[in-house]
């Protein structure tokens, strides 16, 4: 899919697992240059996806939009 200047590609298939892995990669590779607020937002975003999809209490109506989240963070690091 799309890549930014960093060469960071969105996952080919946007699933809860792939998006969480994508966000962890951003956290690992790019978080040191983020301010504290942005680092906290990234961590919160990861927790929200994990809670929505992996907690056992599936609330599909409250599930985050994975594509929107992935694109937002990709643009931030591009």
- What pairs with residue 3 in β-bridges? 9
Rounding to the nearest 10 degrees, give the CA dihedral for residues 13, 14, 18, 24. Answer: 130
- Residues 20-49: tens digit of each pLDDT: 999 999 999 999 999 999 999 999 999 999
Tell me, rounded to whole angstroms, the distance of Cα 5 from its chain centroid: 18
In this prediction, residue 55 has a pLDDT band, given cuts at 50, 70 and 90, of: confident
Give domain status of residue 40, yes or no. yes
What is the pTM assigned to this prediction? 0.85
Give domain status of residue 8, yes or no. no
- The pLDDT value given to residue 74: 96
Number of structural domains found in the chain: 1
Give domain status of residue 9, yes or no. no
Q: Which domain holds residue 70?
A: 16-77
């Amino acid at each position: 899919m799309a890549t930014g200047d960093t060469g960071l590609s969105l996952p080919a298939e946007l699933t809860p697992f792939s998006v969480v892995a994508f966000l962890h990669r951003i956290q690992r590779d790019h978080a040191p240059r983020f301010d504290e607020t942005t680092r906290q937002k990234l961590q919160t975003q990861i927790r929200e996806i994990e809670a929505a999809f992996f907690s056992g209490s599936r609330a599909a109506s409250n599930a985050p939009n994975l594509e929107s989240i992935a694109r937002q963070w990709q643009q931030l690091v591009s």
